[in-house]
């Protein structure tokens, strides 16, 4: 029992001691809002074209109808939906994160996913999952009662931890899926990618179009995804792994022409940054 207590004490202290990385989590939320605003503006025209041919199936229960009420608005007038989304996101950029604001942001991102489902991809799923964990990552309104303040601190820090675990889980599941696939282990997966005319970037040189590079790229992807799961938690390897991850997703961005997925995954790395990282960056910029 004493050994178990000694192991639990650091974790309990992590949850209850203070709000962890308040500046970093606030900037992470703002980055998600800015990304969503950019996405809304870019898909507005396409969404307006697709919506007349996309029938949204709304739930019959009252809670379901309330939760998807924005999608219901889009089903009747998609322009009003995009206008409401744009105005709210601009407002959210200037406001301090709060439980209500973060909850509405998640509600918006999920409804956005439902509205643009025919043209959506994995980035939209990642977005509303990250937005979900942002709900408890707020300190406003702050309680004056010590007991409730402790509860706020715990749910804030749990939100931060679960958001990090959500990102790590994406790489873990993807890496395990690839390492168990003969197509990925042999490098054939990248050979298939080159034949995806709608995704593969045609300007890439033929220099890499051979079995050797297919094998190298496949195992580089597998090793990065599985090593990220471990090394991002270690102090000395955290920032190098995040920098490698940025290069990794920029590579996917260029090869597969998936800018929104690459951008949301790069933004997800912000949840692993700490307040002192921004302080060091500020000092370097001043110098």
Q: What is the pLDDT of residues 74-109, one digit of tens each?
A: 888 889 999 999 999 999 999 999 999 999 999 999
Angle separating helix axes 122-134 and 22-50, nearest 10 degrees:
140
Are the C-beta atoms of residues 137 and 29 closer than 8 Å to each other?
A: yes
Per-residue pLDDT of the chain (287 residues; tens, 9 = 90+): 565 556 667 777 778 888 999 999 999 999 999 999 999 999 988 877 777 777 777 778 888 888 999 988 888 888 999 999 999 999 999 999 999 999 999 999 999 999 888 888 889 999 999 999 999 999 888 888 888 999 999 999 999 999 999 999 999 999 999 999 998 888 888 777 766 655 566 656 555 567 777 888 889 999 999 999 999 999 999 999 999 999 999 988 877 777 889 999 999 999 999 999 998 888 877 77
Give which of 25, 41, 44 is closest to 96, Cα–Cα: 25
Q: Could you tell me the two tokens for 263?
A: 């951008």
């Amino acid at each position: 029992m004493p050994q178990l207590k000694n192991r639990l004490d650091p974790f309990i202290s992590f949850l209850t001691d203070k709000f962890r990385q308040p500046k970093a989590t606030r900037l992470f939320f703002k980055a998600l809002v800015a990304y969503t605003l950019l996405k809304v503006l870019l898909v507005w025209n396409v969404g307006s074209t697709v919506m007349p041919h996309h029938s949204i199936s709304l739930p019959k229960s009252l809670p379901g109808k309330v939760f998807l009420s924005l999608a219901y608005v889009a089903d009747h007038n998609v322009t009003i939906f995009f206008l409401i989304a744009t105005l709210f996101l601009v407002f959210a950029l200037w406001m301090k994160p709060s439980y209500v604001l973060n909850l509405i942001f998640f509600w918006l991102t999920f409804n956005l996913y439902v509205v643009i489902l025919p043209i959506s991809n994995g980035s939209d799923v990642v977005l509303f999952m990250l937005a979900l964990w942002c709900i408890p990552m707020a300190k406003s309104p702050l309680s004056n009662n010590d007991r409730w303040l402790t509860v706020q601190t715990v749910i804030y820090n749990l939100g931060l931890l679960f958001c990090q675990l959500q990102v790590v889980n994406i790489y873990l599941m993807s890496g395990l899926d690839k390492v168990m696939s003969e197509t990925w282990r042999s490098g054939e997966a990248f050979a298939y990618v080159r034949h995806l005319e709608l995704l593969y970037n045609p300007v890439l040189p033929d220099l890499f179009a051979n079995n050797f590079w297919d094998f190298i790229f496949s195992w580089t992807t597998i090793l990065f995804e599985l090593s990220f799961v471990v090394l991002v938690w270690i102090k000395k390897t955290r920032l190098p792994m995040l920098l490698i991850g940025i290069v990794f997703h920029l590579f996917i961005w260029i090869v597969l022409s998936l800018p929104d997925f690459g951008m949301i995954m790069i933004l997800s790395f912000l949840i692993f940054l700490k307040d002192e990282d921004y302080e060091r960056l500020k000092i370097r910029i001043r110098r």
